[in-house]
């Protein structure tokens, strides 16, 4: 598989970072084409900074000190403008509020499409498709202040999806959504990922939403890479770190805990159903008339 993102010996410090300190230290990683990668780490670990590095915003747009190289879609971000990279890479930043630039929902989605040079008829088609896909069908003429926070996050995703970038980087894209909304948004992202083979990199604090879809895991801690590997291989490493452990999906915290305490090897569960099946196969039975574990 070819690497969509390749980072080598990357160090970075913002202009405001005190001398002698760095925000990212010796980052080496690859993200494969067509993968669905989750990026985790405690607050302040440098997740947002890493996303910015991938989209060329640091160091070239915001400035700062750096060493090493970041290659995205086979080209170094060095010497490219943010807007050039953005033609192929969609980036949804943390502050979703200030990223919406138009007056109505339809115009917001059309804005990216027009910038990418789509023809008017195509723009119209894609706008209604994208709004429908994120669960805002027929809201073209809604003013932005007539949408809720969660709906605005969806709108932002719609405007990114509409241009069908090869790679989408999302920095906490569901922070303003309720669990149901977050779940449906990730399942939409997963279906795009399956259908178009889009590579996806998402920063997410609540990994439970991602468990069914995630293929790879990157964990950052205090600016350093703890692990970057397939999810199944990386999760046990993350589990060994007491600070990062709670960031794993609840099901996997349970699985890895059971494996550690009981010396078992359980399956690589991706859903509750799989976990139940696996446990049943191992002879775990519900007591008569309780729960639905055995049913």
Partner 1 sequence: MRLAAFTQIIVTLAVTAWVFILPTEAVATILVLELTLLLYIKHDQMTLAAIGGLAVFTGLMVLLQLLFGTPLIQSLIGGLRMLVMTMAFLCLLAACRIQDIAKALVEKFRLPCEYAFMLTTALRFVPNFLLDSEITLDAQSCRGYSNRQNFIKRFLAYLVVIRPLVMRAVAKSETLALSMELKGFGNNTYKNMPPEKLNILDYLVLLLVLAGCSFPFWEKYFLGA
Ligand X SMILES: Nc1ncnc2c1ncn2[C@@H]1O[C@H](COP(=O)(O)OP(=O)(O)OP(=O)(O)O)[C@@H](O)[C@H]1O
Q: Measured from the CB atom, is 24 or 123 closer to partner 1?
A: 123
Selection from ligand X, partner 1, Mg ion, none that 80 binds (CB < 5 to 8 A by kind) is none
Q: Which residues of this chain interact with partner 1, rule CB under 8 A? A: 55, 57, 61, 81-83, 86-87, 91, 93, 95, 97-104, 107, 111-112, 114-120, 123, 144-145, 159
Q: Measured from the CB atom, is 128 or 175 closer to ligand X?
A: 175
Selection from partner 1, ligand X, Mg ion, none that 87 binds (CB < 5 to 8 A by kind) is partner 1
Report how far residue 273's alpha carbon sits from residue 78's, in angstroms, rounded to the nearest whole number: 46
Strand (E) or helix (H) holding 275: helix 272-281
Tokens (6 digits) for 176: 């303003």
CB of 121 to partner 1, least distance (A): 9
CB of 72 to partner 1, least distance (A): 14
Tokens (6 digits) for 193: 């990922």
Sign of the dihedral through C-alpha 162, 167, 171, 176: positive
Q: 174-186: buried (b, 16+ CB within 10 Å) or exposed (e) per residue?
A: bbbbeeebbbbbb
Selection from Mg ion, partner 1, ligand X, none that 49 binds (CB < 5 to 8 A by kind) is ligand X
Residues in the chain: 295
CB of 9 to ligand X, least distance (A): 19
Q: Are 159 and 111 within 8 A, CB to CB?
A: yes
Q: Measured from the CB atom, is 45 or 217 closer to ligand X?
A: 45
Q: Measured from the CB atom, is 127 or 214 closer to partner 1?
A: 127
CB of 115 to partner 1, least distance (A): 4
77 binding Mg ion? (CB under 5 A): no
Report how far residue 22's alpha carbon sits from residue 205's, in angstroms, rounded to the nearest whole number: 23
Tokens (6 digits) for 39: 């990026």
Selection from Mg ion, ligand X, partner 1, none that 83 binds (CB < 5 to 8 A by kind) is partner 1
CB of 191 to ligand X, least distance (A): 27
Q: Which residues of this chain interact with ligand X, rule CB under 6 A? A: 14, 16-17, 23, 41, 43-49
- Calculate the alpha carbon distances from 130 to 9, 84, 135, 140, 209 in Å: 38, 23, 9, 10, 21
At residue 97's C-alpha, the angle toward residues 94 and 100, to 5°, is 105
Report how far residue 191's alpha carbon sits from residue 107's, in angstroms, rounded to the nearest whole number: 25
At residue 84's C-alpha, the angle toward residues 79 and 86, to 5°, is 125
CB of 182 to ligand X, least distance (A): 16
CB of 74 to ligand X, least distance (A): 25
Closest CA to 134 of 191, 211, 215, 87: 191
Window 10 to 49, contacts with Mg ion (CB under 5 A): 48
Q: Measured from the CB atom, is 57 or 225 closer to partner 1?
A: 57
Binding residues for Mg ion, rule: CB under 5 A, are 48
């Amino acid at each position: 598989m070819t690497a969509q993102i390749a980072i080598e010996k990357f160090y970075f410090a913002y202009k405001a970072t005190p001398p002698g300190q760095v925000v990212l230290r010796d980052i080496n990683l690859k993200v494969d084409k067509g993968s669905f990668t989750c990026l985790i780490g405690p607050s302040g670990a440098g997740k947002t900074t890493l996303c910015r590095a991938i989209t060329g915003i640091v160091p070239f747009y915001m400035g700062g000190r750096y060493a090493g190289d970041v290659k995205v879609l086979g080209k170094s971000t060095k010497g490219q403008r943010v807007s050039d990279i953005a033609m192929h890479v969609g980036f949804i930043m943390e502050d979703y509020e200030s990223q919406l630039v138009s007056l109505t929902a339809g115009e917001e989605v059309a804005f990216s499409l027009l910038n990418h040079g789509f023809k008017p008829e195509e723009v119209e088609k894609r706008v209604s498709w994208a709004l429908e896909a994120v669960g805002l069908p027929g809201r073209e003429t809604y003013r932005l202040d007539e949408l809720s926070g969660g709906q605005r996050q969806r709108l932002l995703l719609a405007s990114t999806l509409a241009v069908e970038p090869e790679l989408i980087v999302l920095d906490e894209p569901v922070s303003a959504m309720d669990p149901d909304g977050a779940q449906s948004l990730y399942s939409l992202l997963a279906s795009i990922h399956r259908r178009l083979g889009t590579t996806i990199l998402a920063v997410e604090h609540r990994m439970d939403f991602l468990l069914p879809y995630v293929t790879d895991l990157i964990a950052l801690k205090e600016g350093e890479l703890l692990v970057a590997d397939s999810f199944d291989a990386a999760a046990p490493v993350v589990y060994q770190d007491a600070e990062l452990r709670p960031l794993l999906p609840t099901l996997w915290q349970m699985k890895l805990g059971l494996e550690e305490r009981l010396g078992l090897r359980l399956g690589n569960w991706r859903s509750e159903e799989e976990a139940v099946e696996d446990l049943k196969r191992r002879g775990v039975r519900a007591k008569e008339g309780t729960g639905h574990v055995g049913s």
